[in-house]
């Protein structure tokens, strides 16, 4: 290794110290000793020296904020310290109840002095957990499920306000919030629109989406920022109070939000909340409330945690945002136990940062109380910024001739004759036929399953949740869901809701005809029969017009099956369902193999995970070449294709002497 001249090494070390100092002054102390242009010039000089002498480069160098190639996927990180979420309160009365619980709990443990509180702004962004070893950034991870998160170090390194090295060589784990300013969101959305890409609904979505990019260059281009607010673990002695802990974080070089207060009483807490409720929307970052923590660390330790949240802290949320929208329809949805819930179908509207198209009306009495009618303009809010709720009707905008909603006596979704009854002693109604919901649930589960449309993320539990909360009652309802509808479900949050809606939309953009036929739950029609029908008729219209005689001419279809298929497509309700489906999905024809195909007569079984294509894509490729796919291995199987983590099918193939193909050899065979 060539020797580095002493003066160059000295200059380089001074540049590193100076750039890091100016970064700290700018991001932590809001002080600009030199212009950004001058700072950029120093960074260019640093990079030039590193290009000539790469052995000088360390992970803490300012040049390493944008580094590395795009990742193929995110690694999982097990947190050193388990991550918790706060319980929410929404009113002064609720925060006073919290104070009473805290005081009572501490008195029972011998603490006579009333608690005091640290109040901080609750930044609406993406939580991030940073781990430093000897003062150098080691990993950055998302919260995940609180135990395991995703490694996003490559993106977090691009955020100028997050130090790559600290003021002292301390081992520390800290927590904070990554955010994007409203101005940066406007610039980003302008670029997205110019490129023909979807726009971000709010800065929180944009920040979360940017941090979860596989390419760090994308994150670097999006002007992200961060505030650090908590020490989860440190090799040094922890400060005695939360307020002192924030000062400690700032000493280490972290950017800490300057707006905080030490509240000597719960009245002071309410006062701080009232102040920021008025001016919170005027900041360049989003604020959805304040965080209230018992200030004394000893009291925090005594209070401890419940199963999911600390006893010593709450998120004191601002009142829910309200918007107006129009009730397009009122639909009775059948719940898990057959109970009927009226659901308002709304003109989609953004409220509290997410788009909502449905809201529950709870029961018949609630509809009467509100006097809500189809066509009404209503005030919608998200209670706790999550659950959409209609709070009132704007009577001045009611259409002429509107009529009160009439509760029906029969509901077709209840099966049989559709009779309904009011539950004795309750306001709720339910289906008389208790078996109908189970049938509907099975149909919807099957429609979304891998064997049919294969909508990723729409598993049986999620389908059940959608049904239970009145969000779907037929196949086409999946495709009109909005992120705000899903985010309100138990177990869902913003990112998981975005993922599910994106998956549903991706599925809708290209639905092979055979998959659609499989998903419709036509009596006696499974995957293989659906493929026969799709290859014979090529389009849904042609299949819809086919009668029993025409279907009987297809090899493999018997008389009973042909009659059932013909009757299903002739049914008026089913035809209306197909009409609605064709408006929300794009159906593509399956490839019909001419002349038998190169894989004609060959049977395949797939096991394990393939990296180049999905299981369903592999099946399509085989069938497009005339081959057959089976789920079980037998002596008649020609090939078993074994991907990563192949299971028992591989062992059975080896025992039966069936030829096993690696993914590489399988792809060669397809080619």
| DSSP string computed for 442-476 | HHHHHHHSTTTT--TT--HHHHHHHHHTTS-SSGG
Per-residue pLDDT band at 435 (split at 50, 70, 90): low
Sheet holding 313-317, edge to edge: 87-89, 313-317, 287-294, 117-123, 260-263
* Distances in whole angstroms, Cα of residue 347 to Cα of each of 55, 310, 383, 485: 60, 39, 19, 13
Query: What value does the mean pLDDT of the chain take?
Result: 85
In angstroms, the CA 152 to CA 75 distance is: 8
Which of 50-64, 294-308, 417-431 has the highest mean predicted lDDT (pLDDT)? Answer: 294-308
Percent of the chain clearing pLDDT 70 (strictly above): 92
pLDDT tens-digit readout, 83-113: 888 888 878 999 999 999 999 999 999 998 9
Show the tokens assigned to 64.
């390493």
Closest by CA to 353, choosing from 205, 215, 490, 251, is 205
Distance (Å, rounded) from C-alpha 529 to C-alpha 536? 11
Contact 459, 492 (CB under 8 A): no
Res. 283 pLDDT band, cuts 50 70 90: confident
Q: Where are the alpha helices (DSSP H) in 397-435?
A: none
CB atoms within 10 A of CB 325: 22
- Residue 14's region, left for phi above 0, alpha for psi from -120 to 50, else beta, is alpha
Burial of residue 538, with CB atoms counted within 10 A of its CB: 0-12 exposed, 13-18 middle, 19 or more buried: middle
Predicted local distance difference test score (pLDDT) of residue 27: 57
* pLDDT at residue 73, as a whole number: 67
- pLDDT number for residue 299: 95
User: What are 459-508's pLDDT values in tens digits?
Assistant: 999 998 998 888 998 999 999 999 989 988 888 988 999 999 999 999 99
Helix (H, G, I), strand (E, B) or coil at 310: strand
Strand, helix or coil at 661?
A: strand
Higher pLDDT, residue 325 or 438: 325
Active site residues: 122
Q: Is the pLDDT of residue 223 over 90?
A: no
Q: 70-74, 135-139, 666-670: which has the highest mean pLDDT?
A: 135-139
CATH numbers and ranges of domains, the chain: 6-65 (1.10.287.610), 87-317 (3.30.470.30), 322-431 (2.40.50.140), 511-588 (1.10.150.20), 594-670 (3.40.50.10190)
Q: Are strands 76-78 and 148-150 parallel, antiparallel or unpaired?
A: antiparallel
- Answer yes or no: are the C-beta atoms of 646 and 669 closer than 8 Å: no
Taking residue 311's Cβ as centre, other Cβ atoms within 10 Å add up to 18
Residue-level pLDDT at 644:
76
Structure confidence at residue 384 (pLDDT): 44
Q: Span 179-201, mean pLDDT? A: 83
pLDDT in tens, 549-559: 888 888 767 78
* Whether residue 575 has pLDDT greater than 80: yes
Token pair of 234 as six digits: 């440190």
Q: Sign of dihedral through CA atoms 563, 569, 570, 573?
A: positive
When pLDDT is averaged across residues 327-356 and rounded to a whole number, the result is: 82
Task: Determine the Cα–Cα distance for residues 643 and 646; give it in Å rounded to an integer.
Answer: 6
Token pair of 92 as six digits: 């002064």
Q: Are strands 354-360 and 511-512 parallel, antiparallel or unpaired?
A: unpaired
Site of tokens 């042609």: 542
DSSP state of 91: S
- Segment 623-632 shows an average pLDDT of 79
Ranked by mean pLDDT, the top range of 167-181, 430-444, 548-562 is: 167-181
Q: How far apart are CA 166 and CA 24, in angstroms?
A: 10
Query: Band of the pLDDT at 67, cuts 50, 70, 90?
Result: very low
Residue 64 has pLDDT above 50, yes or no: yes
């Amino acid at each position: 290794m060539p020797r580095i001249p002493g003066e160059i090494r000295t200059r380089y070390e001074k540049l590193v110290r100076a750039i890091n100092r100016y970064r700290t002054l700018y991001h932590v102390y809001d002080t600009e000793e030199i212009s950004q242009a001058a700072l950029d010039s120093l960074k260019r000089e640093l990079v030039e020296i590193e290009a000539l002498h790469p052995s000088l480069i360390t992970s803490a160098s300012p040049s390493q904020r944008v580094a590395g190639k795009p990742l193929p996927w995110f690694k999982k990180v097990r947190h050193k310290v388990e991550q918790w979420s706060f319980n929410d309160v929404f009113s002064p009365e609720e925060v006073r109840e919290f104070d009473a619980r805290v005081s009572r709990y501490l008195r029972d443990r011998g603490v006579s002095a009333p608690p005091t509180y640290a109040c901080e702004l609750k930044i609406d962004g993406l939580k991030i957990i940073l781990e430093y070893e000897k003062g150098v950034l080691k990993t950055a991870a998302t919260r995940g499920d609180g135990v395991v998160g995703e490694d996003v170090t490559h993106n977090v390194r691009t955020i100028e306000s997050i130090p790559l090295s600290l003021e002292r060589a301390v081992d520390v784990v800290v927590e904070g919030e990554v955010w994007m300013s409203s101005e940066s969101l406007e610039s980003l959305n302008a670029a997205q629109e110019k490129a023909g890409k979807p726009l971000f609904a709010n800065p929180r979505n944009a920040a979360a989406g940017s941090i979860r990019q596989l390419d760090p260059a994308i994150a670097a281009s999006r002007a992200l920022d961060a505030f650090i607010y908590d020490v989860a673990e440190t090799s040094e002695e922890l400060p005695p109070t939360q307020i002192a802990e924030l000062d400690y974080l700032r000493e280490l070089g972290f950017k800490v939000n300057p707006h905080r207060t030490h509240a000597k009483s719960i009245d002071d807490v309410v006062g701080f909340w009232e102040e920021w409720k008025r001016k919170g929307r005027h900041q360049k970052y989003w604020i959805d409330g304040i965080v209230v923590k018992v200030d004394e660390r000893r009291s925090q330790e005594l209070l401890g945690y419940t199963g999911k949240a600390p006893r010593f802290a709450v998120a004191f949320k601002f009142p829910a945002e309200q918007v107006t929208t129009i009730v397009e329809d009122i639909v009775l949805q059948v719940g898990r136990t057959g109970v009927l819930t009226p659901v308002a179908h709304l003109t989609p509207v953004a409220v509290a940062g997410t788009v909502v198209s449905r809201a529950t009306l709870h029961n018949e009495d609630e509809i009467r109380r509100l006097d809500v009618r189809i066509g009404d303009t209503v005030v919608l809010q998200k209670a706790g910024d999550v659950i959409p709720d209609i709070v009132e009707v704007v009577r001045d905008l009611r259409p002429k001739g509107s009529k009160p909603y009439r509760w029906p006596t029969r509901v077709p979704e209840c099966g049989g004759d559709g009779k309904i009854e009011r539950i004795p002693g309750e306001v709720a109604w339910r289906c008389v036929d208790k078996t109908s919901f189970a049938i509907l649930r099975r149909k919807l589960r099957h429609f979304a399953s891998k064997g049919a449309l294969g909508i990723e993320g729409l598993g049986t539990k999620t389908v059940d949740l959608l049904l239970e909360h009145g969000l779907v009652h037929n196949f086409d309802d999946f495709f009109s869901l909005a992120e705000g509808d899903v985010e309100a479900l138990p177990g869902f949050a913003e990112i998981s809701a975005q993922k599910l809606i994106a998956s549903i939309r991706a599925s809708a953009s290209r639905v092979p005809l055979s998959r659609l036929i499989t998903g419709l739950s036509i009596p006696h029609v499974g995957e293989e029969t659906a493929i026969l029908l799709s290859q014979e008729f090529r389009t849904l219209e042609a299949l819809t017009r086919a009668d029993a005689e025409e279907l009987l001419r297809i090899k493999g279809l018997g008389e009973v099956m042909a009659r059932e298929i013909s009757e299903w497509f002739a049914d008026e309700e089913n035809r209306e369902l197909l009409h609605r489906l064709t408006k929300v999905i794009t159906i593509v024809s399956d490839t019909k193999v001419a002349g038998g195909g190169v894989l004609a007569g060959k049977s395949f079984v797939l096991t394990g995970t393939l990296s180049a294509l999905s299981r369903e894509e592999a099946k399509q490729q085989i069938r497009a070449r005339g081959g057959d796919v089976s789920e079980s291995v037998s002596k008649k199987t020609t090939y078993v294709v074994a991907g990563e983590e192949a299971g028992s099918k591989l062992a059975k193939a080896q025992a039966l002497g069936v030829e096993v193909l690696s993914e590489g050899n399988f792809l060669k065979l397809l080619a």
